Chain A
Amino acid sequence: MIRVVLPSHLRTLAHVEGEVQVEVEGEVTQRSVLDALEVRYPMLRGTIRDQATQQRRPFVRFFACEQDLSHELPDAPLPDAVASGTEPLLVVGAIAGG
């Protein structure tokens, strides 16, 4: 079970509070986790990745295990601690503005 922490606006859209959990079959990567997240919470489609290009939105970041994983390839494996459910994947709205 993969743990994901969403920013508050996306928790509101998904009608959830706190962490969410998704099942991922096969390798645990950004893409497989986000795919599973969007199947479980289809109202989030397009909010983290562009609907057409599937690219990460510029002001959305992915953190885990005190690392910034935003620039990792979408199919690169996530840290073992995320894959095992020990640590969550954090989806973060970047600080922007004044």
Chain B
Amino acid sequence: MSSVRVLVGTRKGAFVLTSDGKRERWNISGLHFAGWEIYHMKGSPTDPNRLYASQSSGWFGQIIQRSDDGGKTWHQPGTPPGEPTTTPEGMPKGESNKFVYDASPETGKPLTTHQWYDGTQHPWEFKRVWHLEPSLTDPDTVYAGVEDAALFRSTDGGKTWQELSGLRGHGSGPKWQPGAGGMCLHTILLDPSDPQRIFIAISAAGAFRSDDGGQTWKPINRGLKSQYIPDQTAEVGHCVHRIALNRSRPGVLFMQKHWDVMRSDNGGESWQEVSGNLPTDFGFPIDVHAHEPDTVYVVPIKSDGEHYPPEGKLRVYRSRTGGNEWEALTKGLPQRDCYVNVLRDAMAIDSLDSCGVYFGTTGGQVYASADAGDSWAPIVRDLPPVLSVEVQTLP
């Protein structure tokens, strides 16, 4: 019988939640990495026991952790437990948290600069990994979206990382600027139908696409309109919060922008707004049903200045028409006095026949629906603030 494994990253560590396919009774393991922020954990689609985790701290920086047994044990990829800490040549291991931007050969400084809060140009400075996206075909290949915004790739299971610097180098970098959460590359989508195509999104720069495996990039923001930038339809500068696709139809993208829910039917070449009857079109996560490519989920949040659900009612909104027409999903969710937020990486979809939907809140709840959102129940209620939720559907 199939089962699911939900990977939850929080402000104070990580949890692994498991259940059989009914998704009624849950086993909770953790706390892993106690006291550290876990921005994201994700498993390899081809080797579900291979998990990657981004562990960070304001004191001690970035660590990459890897599990090869489905989250039971973890190690830093360059230094497996019990193995020598140096190579046979005597070189130290422990490169797995080394994220060094490509530098200009002339200056030795990271390629390009970006716009700082005061309008001056600022060099790229590595802060943390926001998102880890394992390859669809190779468990040792994984992409990392980082702050300050850039894309890195490891092809040795997370031991070493190389920047795909064509993204920063494509020309618009000096116009990127940090949003309130920092200038982060938070979304990475690998096209299941085209191994050369990658979509990414950056706050606050926008969405970008590569059609050559990450070597060269182009902004894909036509149709976005953002009132918080001087040129509301500029090529870059948009605060994209999340993009999502359905594996069976990867040319269709859905986007939750700072404000506005958007849709593209041409791989991001152009976008149109599909916010329709949502009570507010501000929000962070967006996801697509595993089997119905026109069924989309968002969690409306009141505003950018008020990060909580409108009227204190926690409602997931579902569209079965690819946007524009939305219905509130409330059964099992608090409908009064609820002032949590749901962050951009904190929603996930399983691929069981009756599609499961999961999300975590800044109040420490993780909610699950085993019936595509019709009804919800908390798996856990009192975790630290939830930063990310991923789910694996296991055979």
Contact = CB atoms under 8 A, between A and B. Distances in A.
A34 to B, nearest CB: 12
Interface in A1-55: 7, 9-10, 13, 15, 38-48, 50-52
Nearest to B99: A51
Contact of A9 (B35, B78, B86): B35
B79 A9 contact: no
B232 interface: no
Interface residues of B, number: 25
Nearest to B101: A52
Interface stretch (B88-96, B207-215, B270-278, B328-336): B88-96
B273 to A, nearest CB: 40
Interface in B71-91: 76, 78-79, 81, 85-86
Contacts of B229: none
A43 B79 CA distance: 7
B61 A47 contact: yes
A15 B81 contact: yes
B97 A51 contact: yes
B36 interface: yes
A44 to B, nearest CB: 7
A92 to B, nearest CB: 10
Contacts of A42: 78-79, 85-86, 92-94
Contacts, number: 71
A36 B60 CA distance: 18
B93 A9 contact: no
Interface string B21-64: 00000000000000110000000000000000000011111110
Contacts of B95: 45
Contacts of B99: 51
A90 to B, nearest CB: 14
Nearest to A15: B81
A27 B333 CA distance: 63
Contacts of B58: 59, 96
Contacts of B78: 42-43
A47 to B, nearest CB: 4
B126 interface: yes
B57 A38 contact: no
B122 interface: no
B100 interface: yes
B98 interface: yes
Contacts of B36: 9
Nearest to A8: B35
A93 B79 contact: no
Contact of A52 (B35, B76, B100): B100
A93 B93 CA distance: 24
A60 B92 CA distance: 23
B59 A39 contact: no
A94 interface: yes
Interface string A41-79: 111111110111000010110000000000000000000
Contacts of A7: 59
Contacts of B57: 9
Given A13-B76, A40-B85, A42-B78, A48 B92 contact: no
Contacts of B59: 7, 9, 57, 59-60, 93-94, 96
Given A45-B97, A46-B97, A47-B97, 5 more contacts: A9-B57, A13-B76, A46-B63, A51-B100, A60-B60
Top 7 nearest A-B pairs (CB, nearest first) are A42-B94, A47-B60, A42-B92, A59-B59, A93-B59, A51-B98, A45-B94
